[in-house]
């Protein structure tokens, strides 16, 4: 009887270990799937960026949504500066493949127990209108943008398509995240670089 109970206990322990491992692998696959989708979705939009000739989209606004400063002639605009790190948390552009929508991608921390998420804002300056690109149960440690090889820091200022049309804009996206369910795993980093599909010429 003792030997039988020992065998049963070992079998149950192995079964529970397999179930736990399967759940962790499934959670990791879901996380990787979401991150891959978000990167592909953003890359597709950024490739279809077009120059903001009027400066109506690429502009900084105040709390009332009024334009403080606009940047006509540019392709991309850094947004949401982080005062602590000096980096920017968002990037804004006009998406020619989406009815010329004024589109912004940014990393958001809603506070409390909510993890950092990637969000999208379209034709609006109100964060309440933003939609999720990644689920809030997963944590995005950081999300950085580098335009035309810049570092993404405040000292780089506004970069993108200048009025001289001498540079073909390209954007590098860098994301760091942790897989759920296994704190022993190291942080995973993903990086991709996309270039504007059309030649950067006067429009």
Give tens-digit pLDDT for 82-134: 777 777 888 998 998 888 899 999 988 765 445 788 999 998 888 888 888 88
Query: What is the 3-state composition of the chain as percent helix, strand, coil, each rounded to the nearest 5?
Result: 25, 35, 40
- Per the domain annotation, does 200 fall within a domain? no
- Per the domain annotation, does 184 fall within a domain? yes
Tally of structural domains, the chain: 1
Residue 161 predicted with pLDDT over 50: no
- Per the domain annotation, does 24 fall within a domain? yes
Element (H, E) at 132: strand 131-132
- Per the domain annotation, does 203 fall within a domain? no
Q: What is the reported pLDDT for 119?
A: 92
Residue 40 belongs to what domain range? Answer: 2-195
Q: What is the reported pLDDT for 105?
A: 93
- What is the average pLDDT value for the chain, to the nearest integer? 78
Q: What is the reported pLDDT for 104?
A: 93
**Between 53 and 149, residue with greater pLDDT:** 53
CA angle 101, 107, 113 (to 5 degrees): 135
- Per the domain annotation, does 62 fall within a domain? yes
Rounded distance, CA 55 to CA 138, Å?
35
Rounded distance, CA 81 to CA 115, Å?
19
- Per the domain annotation, does 201 fall within a domain? no
> pLDDT by residue (tens digit) across 30-49?
778 888 888 999 999 998 88
- Per the domain annotation, does 110 fall within a domain? yes
**Between 65 and 81, residue with greater pLDDT:** 81
């Amino acid at each position: 009887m003792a030997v039988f109970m020992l065998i049963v206990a070992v079998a149950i322990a192995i079964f529970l270990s397999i179930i736990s491992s399967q759940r962790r692998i499934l959670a990791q696959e879901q996380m990787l799937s979401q991150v891959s989708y978000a990167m592909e979705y953003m890359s597709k939009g950024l490739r279809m960026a077009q120059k903001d000739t009027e400066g109506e989209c690429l502009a900084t606004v105040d709390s009332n949504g009024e334009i403080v400063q606009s940047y006509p002639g540019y392709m991309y605009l850094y947004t949401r500066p982080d005062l602590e790190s000096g980096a920017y948390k968002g990037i804004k552009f006009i998406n020619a493949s989406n009815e010329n929508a004024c589109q912004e991608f940014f990393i958001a921390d809603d506070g409390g127990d909510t993890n950092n998420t990637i969000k999208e804002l379209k034709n609006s300056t109100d964060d309440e209108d933003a939609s999720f690109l990644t689920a809030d149960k997963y944590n995005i440690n950081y999300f950085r943008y580098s335009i035309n090889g810049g570092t993404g820091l405040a000292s780089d200022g506004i970069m993108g398509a200048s009025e001289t049309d001498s540079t073909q804009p390209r954007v590098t996206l860098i994301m760091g995240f942790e897989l759920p369910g296994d704190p022993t795993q190291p942080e995973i980093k993903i990086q991709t670089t996309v270039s504007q599909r059309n030649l950067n010429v006067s429009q």
